[in-house]
Chains A and B, each alone.
Chain A
Amino acid sequence: MKILLGLTFIFLVISFFADRKKTFMGIRKGLKMFLGLLPTILNVLILVSIFLYLVPNETLIKLLGKNSGITGVMIAAVLGSVSLIPGFIAYPLAAILLKSGATYTVVAVFITTLMMVGVLTLPLEAKYFGMKVSLIRNALSFIGALVIGLIIGIFL
């Protein structure tokens, strides 16, 4: 986050000294895009907040901790796909999962689907790419995450 803030600031200063008018145009363009997207983002955040209440961390640990084999991997893939957990929660959670007996495959699948597949953000993604392409990207990422998990399971 801090990198992004710093980067924005540096670019803004450089841009401002290079061309004031262009800079304001860029800022206006960016903020306009942001405002256009804001309601959809808020809706997604609301859905995620409710989802996390319905499926708290304890439930995830219970579901993924001891379940091994293909069932565990599939549960991890589905849960990772429908959840939207920010990194600062997901990684400590993944560490707990490993401690409570989850395999590396399960953890890798969970983390990768969490990052690459977003069922709750589909409406947002579809606004940019269209529903069909978004579905295909998510489906491919889902399969990809399973492959990644299986390969990691071979090595670790």
Chain B
Amino acid sequence: MKKYILRIAETEYMLFILFGIFILLAHSLNLSSGKIIQNNFWLFFTEMIAFLPFMFILVGLFDVWFPKEKVEKHIGKDSGIKGTFWVILLAMLQAGPLYGAFPVAYMLWKKGASIKNIFIYLGAFSTLKIPMLTFEIGFLGLKFSLLRTLVTLPVFILIGKIMEIYLRDKYFEIRQPDLFRKDKK
């Protein structure tokens, strides 16, 4: 028993378990804070679980089907404006919060995408997703959304360029968080 407890404590699930205990306690003590936090968590959890596994399956399929040379040719170092266009288009077709873009960025990096295009991808993903734009137009109007899009586009392209210049002479890699990090160290 002790062994199992220690093993769980070693993993990153510690906070999750503490959180579960807190929710149980809040329930038995009838605390309203626990209920609100639990509702919040459930809302975010369902949002996450509805898209992230599929995103990862797509990333996995992308990995086995697309050879590095091809990806590199289209969005790699020498891809120019066309490459930027492709990553922005790719980002616009996706959905979900920004953290869903990190695994895709890792895959693009692995397949030889340029640093600039990777950060442009992150920028486009966070601000130009089509599912999100429809929401924005609905609540804030077409004029606002259009203007925001037009102003945002050059800003994150510039960020991509700055990151490229900054990282050009440095050792930079995008890692994949490992399932069993402890064993590999």
Contact = CB atoms under 8 A, between A and B. Distances in A.
Contact of A87 (B64, B102, B135): B135
Given A26-B60, A31-B60, A46 B144 contact: no
Given A1-B50, A144-B156, A152 B60 contact: no
B98 to A, nearest CB: 6
12 contacts: A4-B96, A8-B55, A8-B58, A22-B64, A50-B37, A52-B40, A53-B36, A87-B131, A116-B127, A127-B175, A128-B106, A144-B156
Contacts of A92: 139
B144 A128 contact: no
A36 to B, nearest CB: 4
Given A3-B131, A46-B16, A151 B138 contact: no
Nearest to A56: B36
Interface string B151-162: 110011011001
B15 interface: yes
Interface in A8-38: 8, 11-12, 15, 22-23, 25-37
How would you classify the secondary structure of chain A's contact residues: helix, strand, loop or mixed? helix
Interface of B: 11-13, 15-16, 19, 33, 36-38, 40-41, 43-45, 47-48, 50-65, 93-99, 102-103, 105-106, 119, 122-123, 126-127, 130-132, 135-136, 138-140, 143-144, 147-148, 151-152, 155-156, 158-159, 162-163, 166-167, 172, 174-179
A152 B130 CA distance: 20
B144 A26 contact: no
A148 B152 contact: yes
A48 interface: yes
A104 B103 CA distance: 33
B105 to A, nearest CB: 7
A81 interface: no
Contacts of A87: 131-132, 135-136
Contacts of A86: 43-44, 47, 97
Contacts of A48: 40, 44
B52 A1 contact: no
